[in-house]
């Protein structure tokens, strides 16, 4: 009897060629979906037949209300070692195994540095001018000698701090649990939150989303920033108050910002953020690289095979 497998949100239509799906046992039938469904009823109708569903990070959330309507589901496997958009308690209650994969671990840090450089040199405005028939329209700034403020000095934040240092930036950091000793190990200076927002020329956010980080950067923090400073968020959208950021940019209280993550994803076509000046937007591509996808999907194939063999691996329990 066939085992139906669904792979969701394959936006770039690359999942099939990113791994050897032929390695799965005979009888496994894989269907790749390239679009994204927000409507709950349409999503249930699509997913109802599948026993195994592979998902890409938090693109499609799996709350209890959805899991309860998928009685055939036995395995939910996500790319990455964790996925905050899955109700793990509901999955356990319903007997659904949740597994993850490894992650490449550096792609998002590279994007954060790319956004810093793009903001510093006004790359997108200059490119748009050239394509429209114009020439130089602005004045860039050096990153060498600038102050990089890293909010969250974990794995990704530490990588960004090191990249900033390689470009000659003076790096400071803050998070709720950061100690001076931990900062010193990375070679950066720990400061308090107000000092970071007052002093940094570029502020890069690298925190996990939690109740205490939701809305952590709002109007009060943005008001502390220098008028020629920039904010970069490649972490999770709700950490930054989008309305407050839009207001600060429209009033030109800060020089600019770059967002790769949003409160709602995909970002709706009519979302006000799309019209905010001095705001560079990318569509949550921090982890979207060829090498990262090869790790994700190869591990997904391996994880599905292991589950079908009765030996699930990389099980996520919390």
Q: Which residues are catalytic?
A: 236, 265, 284
DSSP letter string, 13-41:
S-TTTSS-GGGSPTTEEEEE--S----HH
DSSP letter string, 177-218:
T--HHHHHHHT-EE--HHHHHHH-SEEEE-----TTTTT-B-
- Which residue shows structure tokens 């909010």? 151
Shortest CA distance to 192 belongs to which of 256, 149, 137? 149
Q: For residue 112, give Cα distances in angstroms to 26, 38, 183, 238, 304.
A: 42, 28, 19, 17, 32
Q: Quick one: tokens of 47?
A: 């997913």
Which distant-in-sequence residues (6+ apart) come within 8 Å of 201 by Cβ?
146, 147, 148, 149, 226, 228, 229, 230
Beta strands (DSSP E) in the chain are 3-7, 28-32, 52-55, 75-78, 97-99, 147-151, 170-174, 189-190, 202-205, 230-233, 256-259, 279-281
Q: How far apart are CA 149 and CA 213, in angstroms?
A: 17
Which distant-in-sequence residues (6+ apart) come within 8 Å of 276 by Cβ?
245, 246, 249, 250
Shortest CA distance to 260 belongs to which of 314, 317, 303, 204? 204
Phi, psi (5° rounding) for residue 62?
A: -125, 75
DSSP conformation class of 69: T
């Amino acid at each position: 009897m066939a085992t139906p497998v669904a792979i969701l949100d394959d936006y770039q239509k690359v999942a099939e060629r990113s791994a050897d799906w032929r390695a799965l046992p005979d009888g496994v039938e894989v269907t790749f979906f390239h679009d994204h469904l927000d409507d709950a009823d349409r999503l249930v109708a699509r997913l109802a037949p599948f026993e195994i569903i592979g998902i890409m990070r938090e693109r499609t959330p799996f709350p209890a209300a959805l899991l309860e309507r998928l009685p055939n589901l036995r395995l939910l496997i996500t790319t990455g070692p964790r996925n905050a958009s899955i109700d793990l308690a509901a999955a356990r209650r319903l007997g659904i195994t949740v597994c993850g994969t490894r992650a490449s671990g550096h792609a998002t840090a590279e994007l954060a540095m790319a956004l810093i450089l793009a903001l510093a040199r006004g790359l997108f405005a200059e490119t748009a001018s050239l394509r429209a028939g114009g020439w130089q329209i602005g004045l860039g700034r050096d990153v060498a000698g600038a102050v990089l403020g890293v909010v969250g000095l974990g794995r990704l934040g530490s990588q960004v701090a090191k990249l900033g240092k390689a470009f000659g930036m003076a790096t400071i950091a803050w998070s709720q649990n950061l100690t001076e000793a931990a900062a010193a190990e990375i070679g950066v200076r720990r400061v308090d939150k107000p000092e970071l927002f007052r002093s940094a020329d570029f502020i890069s956010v690298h925190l996990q989303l939690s109740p205490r980080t939701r809305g952590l950067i709002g109007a009060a923090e943005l008001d502390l920033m220098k008028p020629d400073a920039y904010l970069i968020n490649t972490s999770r959208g709700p950490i930054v108050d989008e309305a407050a950021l839009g207001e600060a940019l429209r009033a030109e209280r800060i020089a600019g910002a770059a967002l790769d993550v949003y409160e709602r994803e995909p970002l709706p076509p009519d979302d006000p953020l799309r019209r905010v000046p001095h705001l560079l937007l990318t569509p949550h591509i921090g982890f979207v690289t060829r090498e990262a996808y090869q790790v994700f999907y190869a591990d997904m194939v391996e994880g599905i095979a292991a589950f079908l063999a009765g030996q699930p691996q990389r099980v996520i329990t919390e």
